[in-house]
């Protein structure tokens, strides 16, 4: 173990580097990326300095708010074609595969074969550059060929994300640690690598991603484990769990919480055998710990990181699952200023302790040139499977003393869900356990008897564990299942232990949901899981880990619940558009819709499954303009 205080020479070098960067208008780098921490417990001071320097470069290059990557704009009209094959997958049943697409003024204006487009347009053999002398002519389109084996698909949507939280997690990522000690070590190294943090013991430190189910001793951590580290001791530190349903805080924060209640509805204050709080808070109990409000500049930086990574993965739209007043204000301002570089469909968070607000809060629909909508409400029914907070009909198989808990009681759900629907809000309810899903479906069933709300497309966010008696109600009620396939391949390793051999069959039952006539939209829940939409595509069709494994062997975990590739692609394109009331303008490559599309390096619809995750994004296009890569 090396000393807890950097030597003066190192501290001076770090401070000088930071000061020089500030003079040049750069943002001092932080540790980013879990790979930087793979050997965190073996770091020397020289390695820490190297990591700080690398992180500074990564942060500066990748921070879109400070230093935009300049992409040469396309003209307002152009055509893209493959020379021979029809390698554009439209997700439009009228023309499922086409050879060419044409764009004008941010919209698709034509699709078809090269011969068909040549008959309708004057296609000029020019690259679609802005200096094209003929691109302004009404019937003339500059033509660019795309080479095989690339394909084009509609712009991809992620139906359940946490945008600003993703940006925050990149500062101190904790995923992949194997013990509380290793997690504490990452915090230790983070503090030492940033002189600004090291020198200010009052600076609030946040990390994200620890997962006690992946630790050797699958037990909750304790604040004492942070207190034993001399660098961390005396600092306010809050570490969010991977699933977002638990926080682990330092002694400094814990001591600042006066008069903690013995119990809290919809949450748990984890205590030791003597009844003393351990520093871990579950679900609603997390609200007892007040975090400092991030500045607008901080939110801009977090947003820039998230957008950069989203574009690089082919995402053109995301459904943000939890606008609080601060994030809602931030995104509204971005939209008003025309600064939203990605489409965001927001779910405004309903605080379980707040009063009903659906009759007085205005909705946002298509602001910022159809870049922002906030016309839905997000309600938490229960907690998470990992943390034992998912509400079950019967006790947990591995802990018969509990069957989880409802974060929002049934009588409250039965009161507020009909009110929000009557006031024109889409209602999206987080439900993990079979009891929670059943209770919410009960509330939807009663509310949807009102003909005035039947078209508001209610959603179950996650819909993880479903009883057989509840499956049929999805299709009958028109409830959308918003699911995350990568959760399935994360949870498959402990799901049966927690639920038992029979009940586990209803965990992530995608095929059963589809077979009962419901729509499924796919998401990642990033930063809880990998942002890459192809990771979700792969998980949905294989139910295998990225290395081809599952508890049931190489055929997949409950392979009878696999989705087809066509269903998975629709779950990332057209169905998310439907789930956000935008299927008329998004979700497929269709004449009249917004020109959002992605160029992949290979055909994900036919590639061997083990090759899917090798697919690269060659270009991401929003409103006809490249936001990542090039064409």
Report the C-alpha gap between 34 and 36 in whole angstroms.
Answer: 5
DSSP string, 465-534: B--HHHHHHHHHHT-EEEE-HHHHHHHTTTHHHHH-TTGGGGBT-HHHHHHTT--EEE---TTSS---HH
Q: What is the model's pLDDT at position 136?
A: 53
What is the per-residue pLDDT across 331-384, written as a single tens digit (0 to 9) for each? 999 999 999 999 999 999 998 777 899 999 999 999 999 999 999 999 999 999
Tokens coding 139: 């019937």
- 423: CB partners within 8 A, 6+ apart: 358, 359
Tell me the Ramachandran region of residue 259: left when phi exceeds 0, alpha when psi lies from -120 to 50, beta otherwise: left
DSSP string, 208-252: EEE-GGGSSS-----HHHHHT-TTTTTS-EEEEETTSSEEEE-HH
- 61: CB partners within 8 A, 6+ apart: 67
Give domain 74-155+590-631's CATH superfamily: Urease, subunit C, domain 1 (2.30.40.10)
Q: Which residue has the tokens 């600092």?
A: 235
Q: What letter does residue 144 receive in the DSSP assignment?
A: E
What is the per-residue pLDDT across 571-598, written as a single tens digit (0 to 9) for each? 999 999 999 999 999 999 999 999 999 9
Tell me the Ramachandran region of residue 404: left when phi exceeds 0, alpha when psi lies from -120 to 50, beta otherwise: left
Closest listed residue to residue 390, CA positions, set 407, 376, 375: 407
Contact 358, 425 (CB under 8 A): yes
When pLDDT is averaged across residues 224-237 and rounded to a whole number, the result is 96
- Alpha carbons within 13 angstroms on the beta-carbon side of residue 358 total 23
Closest listed residue to residue 198, CA positions, set 43, 12, 340: 12
pLDDT bucket at 9, cuts 50 / 70 / 90: very low
3-state helix, strand, coil in the chain (%, to 5): 35, 20, 45
pLDDT bucket at 133, cuts 50 / 70 / 90: very low
What is the per-residue pLDDT across 255-280, written as a single tens digit (0 to 9) for each? 999 889 998 988 999 999 999 999 99
When pLDDT is averaged across residues 298-309 and rounded to a whole number, the result is 95
β partners of residue 379: 429
pLDDT bucket at 535, cuts 50 / 70 / 90: very high
Q: What is the model's pLDDT at position 603?
A: 98
Closest listed residue to residue 232, CA positions, set 272, 279, 276, 265: 279
Longest Cα pair distance anywhere in the chain, in angstroms?
82
Tokens coding 534: 């192809």
Domains 74-155+590-631 and 376-586 share a fold: no
What is the per-residue pLDDT across 426-446, written as a single tens digit (0 to 9) for each? 999 999 999 999 999 999 999
- Radius of gyration in angstroms for the set of CA atoms belonging to the chain, rounded to a whole number: 25
Total number of residues shown for the chain: 631
Closest listed residue to residue 390, CA positions, set 498, 468, 485, 230: 498
Contact 612, 537 (CB under 8 A): yes
Tell me the Ramachandran region of residue 598: left when phi exceeds 0, alpha when psi lies from -120 to 50, beta otherwise: beta
How distant, in Å, are the alpha carbons of 112, 495, 501, 508, 551 from that of 398? 56, 10, 12, 19, 18
pLDDT bucket at 8, cuts 50 / 70 / 90: very low
> Residue 137 pLDDT > 70, yes or no?
no
Report the C-alpha gap between 487 and 552 in whole angstroms.
Answer: 17
The residue extents of the domains of the chain are: 8-62+162-288, 74-155+590-631, 376-586
Q: What is the CATH number of domain 8-62+162-288?
A: 3.10.310.70
pTM comes to 0.82
Topology of the domain comprising 376-586: TIM Barrel (3.20.20)
For the four alpha carbons of 572, 578, 581 and 584, in that order, the dihedral sign comes to positive
What is the per-residue pLDDT across 459-471, written as a single tens digit (0 to 9) for each? 999 999 999 999 9
What is the per-residue pLDDT across 491-502, written as a single tens digit (0 to 9) for each? 999 999 999 999
When pLDDT is averaged across residues 521-543 and rounded to a whole number, the result is 97
| Secondary structure (3-state) at 101 | strand
């Amino acid at each position: 173990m090396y000393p807890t205080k950097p030597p003066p020479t190192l501290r001076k070098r770090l401070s000088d580097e930071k000061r020089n960067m500030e003079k040049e208008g750069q943002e001092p780098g932080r540790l980013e990326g879990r790979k930087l921490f793979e050997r965190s417990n073996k770091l020397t001071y020289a390695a820490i300095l190297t990591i700080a320097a690398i992180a500074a470069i990564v942060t500066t290059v990748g921070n879109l708010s400070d230093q935009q990557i300049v992409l040469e704009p396309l003209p307002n009209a152009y055509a893209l074609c493959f020379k021979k094959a029809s390698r554009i997958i439209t997700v439009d049943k009228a023309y499922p595969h086409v050879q060419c697409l044409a764009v004008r003024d941010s919209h698709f204006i034509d699709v078809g074969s090269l011969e068909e487009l040549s008959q309708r347009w004057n296609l000029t053999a020019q690259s679609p550059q802005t200096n094209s002398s003929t691109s302004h002519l009404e019937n003339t389109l500059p033509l660019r060929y795309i080479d095989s084996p690339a394909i084009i698909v509609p712009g991809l949507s992620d139906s359940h994300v946490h945008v600003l939280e993703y940006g925050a997690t990149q500062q101190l990522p904790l995923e992949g640690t194997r013990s509380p000690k290793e997690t504490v070590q990452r915090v230790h190294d983070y503090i030492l690598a940033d002189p600004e943090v090291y020198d200010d013991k009052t600076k609030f430190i946040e990390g994200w991603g620890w997962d006690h189910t992946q630790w050797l001793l699958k037990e909750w951590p304790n604040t004492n484990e942070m207190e034993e580290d001399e660098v961390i001791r005396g600092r306010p530190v809050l570490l969010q769990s991977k699933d977002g349903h638990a926080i682990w805080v330092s002694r400094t924060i814990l001591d600042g919480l006066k008069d903690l209640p013995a119990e809290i509805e919809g949450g748990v204050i984890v205590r030791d055998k003597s009844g003393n709080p351990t520093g871990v808070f579950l679900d609603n109990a997390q609200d007892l710990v007040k975090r400092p409000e991030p500045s607008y500049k901080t939110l801009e930086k977090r947003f820039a990181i998230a957008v950069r990574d989203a574009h690089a993965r082919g995402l053109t739209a995301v459904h943000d699952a939890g606008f609080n007043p601060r994030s809602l204000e931030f995104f509204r301002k971005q939209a008003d200023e025309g600064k939203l570089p990605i489409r965001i469909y927001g779910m405004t968070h309903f605080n379980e302790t707040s009063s009903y607000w659906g009759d007085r809060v205005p909705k946002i629909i298509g602001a910022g040139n159809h870049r922002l909508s906030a016309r839905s409400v997000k309600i938490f029914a229960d907690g998470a499977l990992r943390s034992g907070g998912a509400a079950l009909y019967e006790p947990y198989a591995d802990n018969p003393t509990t069957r989880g808990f409802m974060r929002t009681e049934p009588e409250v759900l039965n009161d507020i869900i009909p009110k929000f629907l009557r006031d024109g809000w889409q209602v999206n309810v987080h439900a993990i356990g079979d009891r929670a899903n059943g209770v919410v479906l009960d509330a939807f069933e009663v509310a949807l008897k009102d003909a005035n709300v039947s078209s508001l497309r209610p959603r179950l966010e996650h819909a993880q564990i479903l009883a057989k008696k509840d499956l049929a109600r999805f299709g009958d009620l028109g409830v959308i299942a918003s699911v995350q396939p990568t959760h399935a391949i994360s949870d498959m390793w402990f799901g049966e232990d927690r639920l038992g051999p029979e009940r586990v069959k209803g965990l992530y039952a995608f095929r059963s949901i589809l077979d009962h006539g419901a729509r499924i939209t796919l998401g990642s829940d990033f930063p809880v899981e990998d942002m890459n939409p192809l990771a979700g595509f792969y998980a949905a069709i294989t139910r295998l880990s990225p290395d081809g494994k599952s508890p049931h062997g190489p055929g997949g975990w409950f392979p009878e619940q696999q989705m087809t590739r066509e269903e998975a692609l629709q779950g990332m394109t057209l169905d998310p558009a439907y789930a956000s009331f935008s299927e008329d303008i998004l979700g497929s490559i269709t004449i009249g819709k917004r020109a959002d599309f992605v160029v992949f390096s290979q055909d994900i619809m036919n590639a061997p499954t083990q090759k899917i995750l090798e697919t690269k994004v060659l270009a991401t296009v929003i409103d006809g303009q490249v936001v990542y890569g090039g064409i």
